[in-house]
Amino acid sequence: MQDVNTNAEAHASATILVSGRVQGVYFRKFTVDNATELGLTGFAKNLPDGRVEVVAEGKRADIEKLLGLLGEGPSHAAVKDLDVNWSSYSGKFTDFRIHR
């Protein structure tokens, strides 16, 4: 039987808007640390409306792991909602960083 490329192994991109108490609580640093550990690329940035935007690229399964971590957030955060928009992998990022 041949190995079949599963969705978990497929590369994808996700734009995640995180709402709640997510600014001023090290949320972006938490995101960078966890995304880097998962081998993802992209960025995290604060938005003027108080949310944090995260763009993550890599294996879909690893992005889904990141989503679980973002739903919890660092100890002083209070995450209310994750709005996720999946798209095709672009490969345009070389690392994961805080975008200012």
Question: Per the domain annotation, does 66 fall within a domain?
Answer: yes
Find out whether 12 and 63 touch, Cβ atoms under 8 Å: yes
Full domain range(s) for residue 82: 11-98
Structure tokens at 41: 């690329």
Residues 9, 3: Cα–Cα separation, whole Å? 12
Known catalytic residue: 28?
Answer: yes
CATH number for the domain spanning 57: value is 3.30.70.100
Question: Tokens in use for 10?
Answer: 């497929």
Domains contained in the chain, number: 1
**Catalytic pick among 21, 46, 51, 60:** 46
Instruction: Establish whether 46 is a catalytic residue.
Output: yes
**Pairing verdict, β 41-46 and 52-59:** antiparallel
pLDDT per residue of the chain (100 residues) written in tens, 0 to 9: 444 445 557 999 999 999 999 999 999 999 999 999 999 999 999 999 999 999 999 999 999 999 999 999 999 999 999 999 999 999 999 999 999 8
